[in-house]
Copies of this chain bind each other. A is one copy, B any other.
Amino acid sequence: MVSTVLGSGAMDNPPIVTVLDRAGYRLTEPRRSLAALIAGREGHFTATELVTEARARRLGVGRATVFRTLDMLAELGAVERLDLPSGEHAYVVCEPAHHHHVVCSRCGRSDEIDDTGLRKVVREVARRTGYRVDEHRLELFGLCPACLAGQPGPTRGVA
């Protein structure tokens, strides 16, 4: 697991199956398989990647089910949907609390960041524009410490 929440220390996410269970969803075989697949992922992944991997591992999980499960998990806050600069949609496993991500353009690693400083920016924007700001999204892209140090890693099409 790569993702960590800055400011809240190293806190393991509850397993995805637990999140589903608690929310009252049935723990069916396809959902278990997908949960395992997602939990084994590092950094961000796309729905299509998940479909491909499920097919490669002969999990017998359909495309619709992958999208449905991801929607469900996004709603429960167990994963978050990102819009990459390339226009692709990606998902990352994350804490349910409100936060944002910084994504490595090279290896796809993503780290969570809390929005302490950002809250002030949002308040200031609301004050200056007169808007009532209901929702905000911040996404940061760059190079993670490992890639900066020149460690080899797979290139992900982020930028």
Contact = CB atoms under 8 A, between A and B. Distances in A.
A144 B131 contact: yes
B135 A148 contact: no
A73 to B, nearest CB: 16
Interface of A: 6, 83, 85, 87, 89, 102, 104-105, 111, 113, 117-118, 120-122, 124-126, 128-145, 148, 159
Contacts of A124: 117
A125 B136 CA distance: 17
B85 A87 contact: no
Count identical subunits in the complex: 2
25 contacts: A6-B125, A6-B129, A102-B129, A102-B131, A117-B120, A117-B121, A118-B118, A118-B121, A118-B138, A121-B121, A129-B145, A130-B145, A130-B148, A131-B140, A131-B142, A131-B143, A131-B144, A131-B145, A131-B148, A132-B142, A133-B140, A134-B143, A136-B139, A137-B137, A137-B138
